[in-house]
A and B are shown apart, each in its own frame.
Chain A
Amino acid sequence: MSIRISNDPYDKRIDKGVANDFMRESIASAQGRFRSGKLAASEELGDWEDWRSLGEEIRTHTLNHLDYYLNQLTEQVEARGGNVFFAKDAAEANEYIKKVAQSKNAKKVVKSKSMVTEEIGLNKALAEVGADVVETDLGEWILQLDGDLPSHIVTPALHLNKEQIKDTFVKYRGYDSTSTPEDLALFARKQLREEFLAADIGITGCNFAIAESGTVTLVTNEGNARLSTTLPKTQISVMGMERIVPTWEEMEVLVSLLTRSAVGQKLTSYITAITGVRQEGETDGPEEYHLVIVDNGRSKILGTEFQSALHCIRCAACINACPVYRQIGGHAYGSIYPGPIGAVLTPLLDGYENHKELPYASTLCAACTDACPVKIPLHEHLVRHRENIVELGMAPKMEKVAMKGFVQWASHPAAYKLSSKLARTAMKPWTKDEKITDGPSILKEWTKERDFPAPPKETFRHWFKNRKEEK
């Protein structure tokens, strides 16, 4: 797997999402919980807008000095006995990690939840060298058992309800208890504990790397990152190159923005930190540590109008706020990064060719922009993408003709006035009872779902003119 998760065409993916009532219900109820949780957790601070501005400032500063902080991070990790590898793309990252696995003759790898390892398709790469990767985040583990894919970047199995999860456990692991969340979680816990104990290597992602100390920090509620990082003797952290902060002070601000925005918590149950290898006199930490810093298209975004897309701290607040995601679910985006941030990031990382519909999968309602804790102007980025698609000649021909016609109409008052005058007559063949239920041309799509009003007999311009004359 890589960024692109489906070969189905866009329309087919949308139809599939919209037809899945189970999933749509799960999402609607989860969005409700996430939104009210976030609201309470942000209001509690009393000055949420100031926090957002601070978050934005930290991200902007860090990205403007990314080379400096990445150097500092590297020096610090190396000083603590760790190895740092810069991977320009997915292939380089996977090659490096495969080599580490081979050198350790690793058969089993435990991995805590990480979007970047999904992005580069790490599990498949490690399978090629005989290393079996076990996902240890509950949601990811459920998906892995069933060969399914994440549909959300924080709660990857959001599209499944507990009955479906129970069925998966029964089918693949001989589960024989109830579908209550407690029973399901206890079963998973027992199963996963065995995997942790048997693992040769632990792999994690990275929520925030801290440049000043060479630390990778991880945020979880299940403690699986803690187990993944303490049991196996060899550790690998994989991070997108932008997931870095200068010092612990900035980390504190961003982690609060993250957990409040993601799940409405002040802090998650666990925040795990790894700083190089175990030093003399220390009781824990790995014997061998590798930090893989992945570019995979990110450095191309730096310095462009899209740079703020790299502010993203992967909280999914935009996804939880999105009314389009609500109807279609994560898989419909065809990208490992769904929702508004996915629609912005995916074409940047993986090109327009396979993702040119994504920037249009939004009403530009700006709920995403409003929700973002680090102020990424998501809906504006979507418009910039549309501009690029037009510029590249990738927009549909019909649209181009229609839009050019529209602009001519809006630039020529005589034509505009005439059309408003003639609108009623023009629509007459399709009008019945002052509405159109089965319209022609572009109205056809509209009237599939709802009626269209017939232009009324009176027009504003006529009324205004008459009135002036009467006066």
Chain B
Amino acid sequence: MKVSLFITCMADIFAWQVGKATVELLEKYGCEVDFPEGQTCCGQPSYNSGYKKETIKSMKHMIDVFEDAEYIVGPSGSCVYMLREYEHILKDDPEYSEKAKKFSRKAYEITQFLYEVLEVRNIPSTFKGKVTYHPSCHMTRLLGVKEAPLRLLESIEGVDVVPLPQAEDCCGFGGTFAVKNAVISGRMVDEKAHHVEETEAEYLVGGDMACLMNIQGRLTREGKNVEVLHIVEILNQFSNEEVKK
């Protein structure tokens, strides 16, 4: 199966290891992964700020870049949801409406792809530890991916998943919200960080770099000893031979 990696700008700039784990995971499950070099950002920051007309330019660029892709897979529920929105945003565009439809319908978040398309149920990862999972808002509520990441995490033998209190509450990132409404955002991430701490987990895990960066930033600011990991970093801890078993 051919998969084109959508790295997301967050992972591209701040978390190369998330891209690496995504590529390796896909390959272990038999995918042939390519990386369209011309890709940029999904456009969500400007689109959600109300600059729709302007953003359409970068959206069309992304559609062109991934034109030949069979599947587009990325390590973010939020960014992938944005790719899925292209279809609706460009529905009246004479040149791009059909292209956007095709594009949106081949976009998957990585755990969603593993679970729904590759039908992976057990991950032979050797990762060990007590983890708590933050279900990011766009991933769960908008993309509708609730089961996949949790089931995959729980399938790992050495992983003990402890529930995060008030897990459904937003961490306060919200794109430009974090700087535009910094005071409110600060209270929100503070509450989230406290809930993470309450679980006494060693690791906070999530599927969206932006939310993780936000919560991690608060945890380090408060001097808390919780390691923050993207879910693929945990899922990917096994060798190529393991998967064939």
Contact = CB atoms under 8 A, between A and B. Distances in A.
B205 interface: no
Interface in A455-471: 455-456, 458-464
Interface string A365-376: 111011000000
B49 A463 contact: no
B61 A366 contact: no
Contacts of B48: 364, 383, 386
B189 A367 contact: no
A48 interface: no
Contact of B38 (A390, A403, A413, A446): A413
B124 interface: no
A380 to B, nearest CB: 10
B11 interface: yes
B237 interface: no
Interface residues of B, number: 67
What band does the interface of chain A fall in when counting residues whose beta carbon is under 8 Å from B? 35 or more
Nearest to B41: A410
B45 A327 contact: no
Contacts of A385: 50
Contact of A448 (B23, B176, B186): B186
Given A362-B177, A455-B13, A403 B46 contact: yes
Contacts of B206: none
A127 to B, nearest CB: 36
Contacts of A360: 176-177, 180-181
Given A450-B221, A463-B20, A420 B49 contact: no
Contacts of A361: 181, 184
Contacts, number: 197
B181 A452 contact: no
Given A390-B51, A450-B217, A445 B179 contact: yes
Given A383-B48, A399-B49, A411 B57 contact: yes
B13 A420 contact: yes
Interface stretch (B92-100, B103-111, B135-143, B148-156): B135-143
Contact of B183 (A14, A369, A403, A442): A14
Contacts of A411: 40, 57-58, 61
B51 A327 contact: no
Contact of B12 (A390, A391, A445, A459): A459
Contacts of A406: 41, 45-46
A407 B51 contact: yes
A225 B224 CA distance: 52
A344 to B, nearest CB: 14
Nearest to A325: B184
A448 B182 contact: yes
Contact of A367 (B13, B170, B172, B179): B170
Contact of B7 (A14, A413, A460): A460
Nearest to B51: A403
B29 interface: no
A385 B49 CA distance: 10
A463 B19 contact: yes
B214 interface: yes
B212 to A, nearest CB: 10
A449 interface: yes
A453 B220 CA distance: 10
A14 B177 CA distance: 14
B105 to A, nearest CB: 20
Interface in A376-403: 383, 385-391, 395, 399, 403
22 contacts: A363-B174, A363-B185, A365-B170, A366-B142, A370-B141, A399-B49, A403-B49, A403-B51, A410-B46, A411-B57, A420-B12, A445-B182, A449-B190, A449-B217, A450-B186, A450-B218, A451-B217, A451-B220, A451-B221, A458-B17, A463-B19, A464-B19
The 5 A-B residue pairs whose C-beta atoms are closest, nearest first, are A363-B174, A386-B50, A449-B186, A450-B217, A365-B170
Given A369-B141, A403-B49, 12 more contacts: A14-B183, A24-B187, A324-B188, A360-B176, A363-B177, A364-B174, A390-B51, A407-B54, A413-B37, A413-B65, A449-B217, A463-B20
